[in-house]
Structure 1
Amino acid sequence: MNAKTNDTRQHILEVGYQLIVNKGFTAVGLSELLKAADVPKGSFYHYFKSKEQFGEALIEEYFRNYLQRIDHLFNNQELTAYQCLVNYFSMWLEVNDGICNANKCLVVKLSAEVSDLSEAMRMSLAKGASQIINALDNCIKRGIQDGSINVQHSNQIASQLYQQWLGASLLNKLMPDQTHLELSLVSTKQLLQA
């Protein structure tokens, strides 16, 4: 792809992310997306064969960016792995523009909504979630080595933490306070230093 093509495709994905993380995938019509992105319908179909393929690309782009950010966080050699993980999970509680970061998570937003609608999108979400669990697992292993984390079965703990935080994020959407996220942070600290 040339730079202009890549820029236009990226612009559609960025605008689409903002719309979908706020409204959901099915609630955002193609015409709304095209209007918000200020691109003609033909341009959309030049980059994506369908709304479903756009959704799949959106999920893949989200995870690509997310994994780059957490790789940077988890491999900060100035901090112990325990500190890296606590910093990461603390960020789920941060509020930007009045919205908790847990509510900006595409996994939280789309998992239940699209899993029954699109096998391709479900597979993209599952692949991305597995990659996050793997990154958590690697950080926990580093923490076991540096002595800051005292657990066995790092992969099991990584899965448990990710499940716990996704559940707390869903409850945060139902009850708009951060109690469940705060409890997850306390539980995470205890679990990592059991």
Structure 2
Amino acid sequence: MNLQARNDKRDLILAKGAQVMTRRGYHGTGVLEIVKAAGIPKGSFYHYFASKEDFALQALEYLYSPRLARYRSALTSLASPPCQRIVGYYAELLAHFSRQQSPEYHCFIGSLSFEMAELSQPIGHRVESILTQSVSTLADCLEQARLEGELDSDTDCHALAEFIGNAWEGALLRMKVGRSVAPLEIFLAQLERLLKVR
């Protein structure tokens, strides 16, 4: 098997297996469920992953590296002022969920962190690293907004980024429970007020 084919097969297992693990949880998902979802023999799993924990670590990287890259790209674009970039990014996410007939959100990182952050140090560290990168990206954009006079000069941009990130995660959870985008609409309206974007 050439390298490209090997990577494609690994990516297929990661994509399908992560979907199963998000819905069933880490402890509720065995290697058998992962390989069945990917349509491969059980023995093939161990050609790509040393263990279920190794699978979870690689799945975090597979899913969140491109998401972080998109977030950085959106928040560093020079097409609009910093605060508008932030609001625009979340407005697009709201539009995405609004197009769904019954809004659904399955969060792999949320599911893993709830179950495994304390039980598996490697998973806990990887989750924290991803969340820290996200906050750092947002804080950098907020700092640019502060320097350009969009925010008060004494704004603690890192604390504000933490607050926005946590508020968004909470809004997603409420959307998932209520199957309604109303919590996201409230989040966006308050974000616009907070960042003084009209």
TM-score if structure 1 supplies the norm length? 0.87
Residue identity matched to 2:80: L
Of residues 153, 156, 159, the one that matches 1:153 is: 156
User: CA distance change for structure 1 residues 146 and 99 in 2, over 3 Å: closer, same or farther?
Assistant: farther
Question: Is 1:180 matched with 2:183?
Answer: yes
Aligned CA RMSD, in angstroms, stands at: 2.3
Matched ranges for 1:17-36 at <5 A: 17-36=18-37
Q: How far apart in 1 are the matches of 2:88 and 2:25? A: 28
Q: Which residue of 1 aligns with 2:41?
A: 40
Per the alignment, residue 132 of structure 2 pairs with 130
What is the one-letter code of the residue matched to 1:51?
K
Q: Distance in 2 between matches of 1:99 and 1:129?
A: 27
> 3-state SS of the aligned residue for 1:39?
coil
Cα deviation, 1:88-131, whole Å, max 9, x if unaligned, reads 22234222654647x24323333212224422212111110000
Instruction: Give the number of equivalent residue pairs.
Output: 193
1:92–1:100: 8 Å Cα contact kept in structure 2? no
Is 2:14 the counterpart of 1:13? yes
Tell me the distance in 2 between the aligned counterparts of 1:142 and 1:91: 21
- In structure 1, runs of 5+ residues without a counterpart are none
Are the counterparts in 2 of residues 74 and 139 from structure 1 also a CA contact under 8 Å?
yes
The range that moved more, 160-169 or 172-181, is 172-181
1:92, 1:111 → 2: CA distance? 22
DSSP-derived class of the 2:40 partner: coil
Match of 1:191 in 2: 194
Cα deviation 1:155-184 (Å, max 9, x = unaligned): 110011111111222222222222222222
> What is the CA–CA distance in structure 1 between the aligned matches of 2:88 and 2:166, rounded to whole Å?
18
Q: How far has the Cα of 1:38 moved from its partner?
A: 1.6
> Matches of 1:89 and 1:131 in 2, distance apart?
17
Is the 2:68–2:134 Cα contact (8 Å) retained in structure 1?
Answer: yes
Residue 50 (structure 2) aligns with:
49
Distance 1:32 1:168 in 2: 30
Alpha-carbon offset, residue 138 of structure 1: 0.9
1:163 corresponds to: 166
- Local SS of the residue matching 1:177: coil
8 Å contact from structure 2 (residues 103, 176) kept in 1: no
What CA distance in whole angstroms lies between the structure 2 residues aligned with 1:193 and 1:5? 49
Please give the secondary structure, in 1, of the residue aligned with 2:20. Answer: helix
Report Cα offsets for 1:44-82 as digits up to 9, x if no partner.
111111111101111122221111111111122111111
**Counterpart check, 1:65 vs 2:66:** yes
